[in-house]
Amino acid sequence: MEHIVIIGNGISGVTLARHIRKLSDKKITIVSAETDYFFSRTALMYIYMGHMKFEHTQPYEDWFWKKNRINLKKGYVKTVETKSKTLHFAEGDILQYDKLVIATGSKPNKFGWPGQDLDGVMGMYHKQDLENLEKHAPNKDVCKRAVIVGGGLIGIELAEMLNSRSIPVTFLVRESSFWNGVLPEGESEMINRHIKNHHIDLRLSTNLKEIKSDKNGKVKSVIIEETGEELDCNVVGLTAGVSPNINFIKDSEIETGRGVKVNRYLETNIPDVYAIGDCAEQHDPIGNRRPIEAVWYTGRMMGETLAQTICGNRIAYKPGHWFNSAKFMDIEYQTYGWVFGGKGRPDHEQHFHWKHADDTKCITVAYHKDTKEFLGINTFGIRMRHETFDTWLTEKRDVDYVMNHLPEANFDPEFYSKFENEILSAYNNQLQTV
Amino acid sequence: MSNKLNHSMSLAKPDALDITTKQKVALAIGIIGLIILVLALFNTNFPNKGLFLTLSLVSIALGTIIYSREAYLTKLEGIKNDGQWFKSISSRGVWGWVLGLILTGFYIVLYFYPHFLGLGKDGAENTGLISLFDPLSQLLSGRNASQWFVYGTLYTIAILAFGYKFILKYRHNRYQQIRTVSVMFFQLGFAFLIPEFMYVMNSDLPYYDLKSMWPLNYYIFDEWSVNGFLSNGNIGLALILFGIITIFVISPILTYKYGKRWYCSWVCGCGGLAETAGDSFRHLSSKKMSAWKIERWLIHLVLVFSVVMTTAMVYTYLGYDKNDFWLTRGLFITLVIGFLTLVFALVMFFRGKELGKDAKYGAIGLFSVIAILLIMHFTGTTDNVFYIKGSSLRSAYGIYIGSIFSGVIGTGFYPILGSRSWCRFGCPMAAILGFQQRLFSKFRITTNGGQCISCGNCSNSCEMGIDVRHYAQKGENIVRSSCVGCGICSAVCPRGVLKLENDSMKGRINPTEVLLGNDVDLMELVNQK
């Protein structure tokens, strides 16, 4: 029986294993050094906040794996020997595979800041990071202030986590406005205000110079690059993005760039070795997508796709329309299609922006300025239907159609106030003034 | 870090998160109100009972109100579950168990030893706690209080005060607010005030909470109850007809249109308490597959028990004057069996395929009920059914299901089993509505394409123990008989994935293998099977 070994028990690897099991009787082993069982990484924050316990972040009960004959091995893969198809573990044992899938996800970026490895400095990605945070920031007496470096999705989640335990937070963001490489200006600025409303000390256009240590090798303070100001703190969160977690294959024959290089079939340069999820890097980007997509949904889609290939129906990874979502403190965010922020916006992309007076809801609709084709939407504080936008994008609807049919896409709970009329009249007014 | 919770054993400071000074004051005010009740319980003779009762109830309500305002209005609108698994009282810690013991103790005394609460025996004056409530009872209906009046008053206060708390907690969510106003209204009006006023108008009418349906109010077809209604002319007749119409006509229509939520989380008193006072314990319900298996057996056994018990009760007293009444025992049994068979036949005709092997269980269930009823008919004498007294069957149901299951376990175990263990494992009404919701209703929780991140907030907050995530992460709508439509899963979802909806029956149940957002060809290939 063919033995499929998957390194990494995140959403990509587990989705792959489930689908292989549905399609075949192959022997499946999932290897992880992080946890015994699959858990939802995106839910780590809720454990620290006390909304859930760790066990609640595990989507499958423990009996699930045995019942579906998916072997779980806890161990850290040190090296991969592709000629003999052997994995060597740090613990000393080995494992033979017939097909190998690398699904090891990411690790937090560190940019060589002085003091970045001190006690009390951490990312917020692995379960071990959470344990570390629990140790260094159990409450506001032990952790008098925390400094977060890097204004992206993980940074704002970490800020929300610390806030839930009333720990004062200083949030250093390199950009001139929160996540404005991705979010258009109006949205980004709304989120700035929302962060500040939560009494978080948001510092824009601010970089970290160094982290200072006390005599025990523990974080004492950080120095800010621009002003030289020294901020006392007990915890430093490094959340300046992530990069593929692939150090263990650097010495193997598998081709790597920033991530594991794969073709459209998620195959590496070595036969029978594949890579999926955050750690896979496409030779050429697919459409507007980045070559490395470190997103929950894309990891899952790669898993769904590769299962077909491994089970004899070789198909390419050909994702549909882009979508994503996040939550910024209390404001939910969804995006369908492409809406560009500060970085990489094509010349033909024009925006319509509407913001509610309460400053917690807004939308941005992107369209082609000549053809009026609808390109995408960002929505904050209003839930919208994935399926509706997916259909409209496929049908290449124009922006007028979308604006006039917006109520069909509403996904807010029953009895919620509706804003489509207000949005539509703002849209029509804007057309008159242009 | 081990993920086992380290419960502090300190009673003075058991929680990881502190409360503010204002909240401590609020707690003190509420506790003063409770202490008055406890003092009354231990026979402190208050000089002016009306004044002290008012003081007590107002303090309890005021304490809850001030506490909640401080907890929620000082923060921005949003999900407020911080620390719920750290707090001793809401994570089966020391305080949780203490509260559980107090509540179960209260229910045991209430149901089985009401004289400890001060109920006057054989017309004697009330003493203790019950006498404290005499002035309010006199005011409303001109009679002295009973243990049920005390219970009803406290129950109503709890729903109103904690309902207010819940509305503040979800002040960004209009579905939650409107629903909570609804349960507060039905408890105060229908369960508490209207029955008292009905008594004033006609003191011979049995207690009737108009919103409570058979089999939840299993006593409505008892002999004393039916006689009570029938001996009261048109109004009594109208009431008992209304009782029959609610379960056989009104309920099926509303459940078809809106799902069982119209009752369970908008109207019902048990649900009302669970949604308000029980809200802090909702996450404690077990989401394990094994719990679901127990649930399905238990709740349907209770349903069978209640159907057999009610039929046996009615059957017994139909026998007294055989020739006076058109509804004879034989006819009654035939009608019951005919009705059950008709329901089964209709279900098999319209939904047989969908049910799969569950249809077999349904058939076994039906035939055993019919067999029981026939045995009863052919072995029964005037008093006995199955050689035991019909009334014993009824009192067994009253004690084991009506009192112990719904009260002592259902509410007493809030801090241990979660807020809806009665609704989930025991309520026969919920079983009937749920059966219809699963098969003939427009209600579902829609999953938003591929947006689920499997975080588990939805499952965690489901008071009915549904593993909501199991469906959401497959992009499948949630169509479960136990769902009471409280809407909290949708509220806590950080990615806007869940929406409670009434829509067409077509495509309501939509299992998928590959979610929206992937290659359309792959979706077509895999999902077509």
What percent of chain A lies above the pLDDT cut of 90? 98
Determine whether the interchain pair B78/A330 forms a contact, defined as Cβ–Cβ distance below 8 Å: yes
Q: Where in chain A is the domain with CATH 3.50.50.60?
A: 3-107+243-310, 121-240
Residue B506 forms part of a structural domain: yes
A4 Cβ under 8 Å from any chain B Cβ: no
Which residue, among A192, A147, A145, A149, has the nearest Cα to A174 in the 3D structure?
A149
Do B434 and B514 lie in one domain? The reply is no
Q: B235 CB near a chain A CB, below 8 Å?
A: no
pLDDT in the model for residue B232 = 80
CB of A282 less than 8 A from some CB of B: no
Which amino acid belongs to residue B83?
Answer: G
For residue B174, is it within any domain?
yes
Could you tell me if residue B443 is inside a domain?
yes
B507 in reach of chain A (CB within 8 A)? no
Percent of chain B's residues with pLDDT above 90? 58
A368 three-state secondary structure:
strand
Residue B15 pLDDT > 70: no
Please tell me whether residues B434 and B446 are part of one structural domain: no
CB contact under 8 A, B487 and A413: yes
pLDDT digit string, tens, across residues B271-287:
999 999 999 999 999 99
Predicted confidence at residue B46, as pLDDT, reads 87
- Domain encompassing residue B478: 439-527
Six-digit token pair at A382? 């209003």
Contacts with B460 from chain A: Cβ below 8 Å: 51-52, 56
- What whole-number distance in Å separates Cα of residue B484 and Cα of residue B418? 14
In a domain, B90, yes or no: no
B283 and B402 belong to one structural domain: yes
B421 with B383, same domain? yes
Domain final residue, candidates B138, B173, B197 = B197
Confidence at residue B6, expressed as pLDDT on a 0 to 100 scale: 46
CATH 3.30.390.30 positions along chain A are 325-433
What are the start-end ranges of the H helices in B113-250? 128-132, 134-141, 147-169, 174-185, 194-201, 223-230, 233-245
Q: Which of B173, B449, B522 lies nearest to residue A413, judging by beta carbons? A: B173
pLDDT > 50? residue B9: no
Question: Which of B421, B438, B455 delimits the end of a domain?
Answer: B438
Q: Is A84 on the interface with B (CB under 8 A)?
A: no
Top CATH class of A3-107+243-310 equals alpha beta
Whether residue B318 sits in one domain with residue B465: no
In a domain, B397, yes or no: yes
- As for the ipTM of the complex, it is 0.95
Same domain? B256 vs B363: yes
- Mean pLDDT, rounded, for B439-451: 95
Using CA atoms, how far residue A183 sits from A175, A338, A351, B170, B522, in Å, is 12, 11, 12, 28, 31
With 80 as the cut, is the pLDDT of residue B2 above it?
Answer: no
The residue with tokens 């349903």 is B303
Name the CATH code of domain A121-240 (choices 3.40.50.10140, 1.25.40.10, 3.40.50.620, 3.50.50.60). 3.50.50.60
Q: Give domain status of residue B10, yes or no.
A: no
Q: How confident is the model at residue B388 (pLDDT cuts 50, 70, 90)?
A: low
Which helix (H) or strand (E) covers residue A366, if one does? strand A362-368
Average pLDDT over residues B242-246: 89
**DSSP SS3 for B143:** coil
Mean per-residue pLDDT over chain B, rounded = 88
Q: Best interface-test mutation with A: which of B173, B454, B486, B501 has the largest number of A CBs within 10 A? A: B454
CB contact under 8 A, B453 and A304: no
| Residues of chain A numbered 195-254 and touching chain B (CB < 8 Å) | 197-198
pLDDT tens per residue across all 434 residues of chain A? 899 999 999 999 999 999 999 999 999 999 999 999 999 999 999 999 999 999 999 999 999 999 999 999 999 999 999 999 999 999 999 999 999 999 999 999 999 999 999 999 999 999 999 999 999 999 999 999 999 999 999 999 999 999 999 999 999 999 999 999 999 999 999 999 999 999 999 999 999 999 999 999 999 999 999 999 999 999 999 999 999 999 999 999 999 999 999 999 999 999 999 999 999 999 999 999 999 999 999 999 999 999 999 999 999 999 999 999 999 999 999 999 999 998 889 999 999 999 999 999 999 999 999 999 999 999 999 999 999 999 999 999 999 999 999 999 999 999 999 999 999 999 999 877 55
Residues B142 and B206 in one domain: no
> Predicted confidence band at B382 (pLDDT cuts at 50, 70, 90)?
low
Section B389-397 average pLDDT: 77
Handedness of CA B503, B506, B510, B516 (dihedral sign): negative
Per-residue pLDDT, averaged over B155-179, amounts to 97
Q: Running DSSP on this structure, what letter comes out for residue A165?
A: T
Whether residues B258 and B190 fall in one domain: no
Residue-wise DSSP of B165-194: HHHHHTTT-HHHHHHHHHHHHIIIIIIIIH
Q: Give the model confidence (pLDDT) of B313-360 as tens digits.
A: 888 777 655 556 677 788 888 899 999 999 889 888 888 877 777 778
Domain closes at, from B400, B421, B438? B438
User: What is the model's pLDDT at position B322?
Assistant: 54
- Give yes or no: residues B372 and B395 share one domain: yes
Residue B518 contacts A where some CB pair is shorter than 8 Å: yes
| CATH code of the region A325-433 | 3.30.390.30
* pLDDT score recorded for residue B313: 81
pLDDT, one tens digit per residue, over B78-96 is 999 999 999 999 999 999 9
- Residue B106 above 60 pLDDT? yes
- Domain identity same for B237 and B182: no
Question: What SS3 state is found at B9?
Answer: coil
User: Structural domain tally of chain B?
Assistant: 3
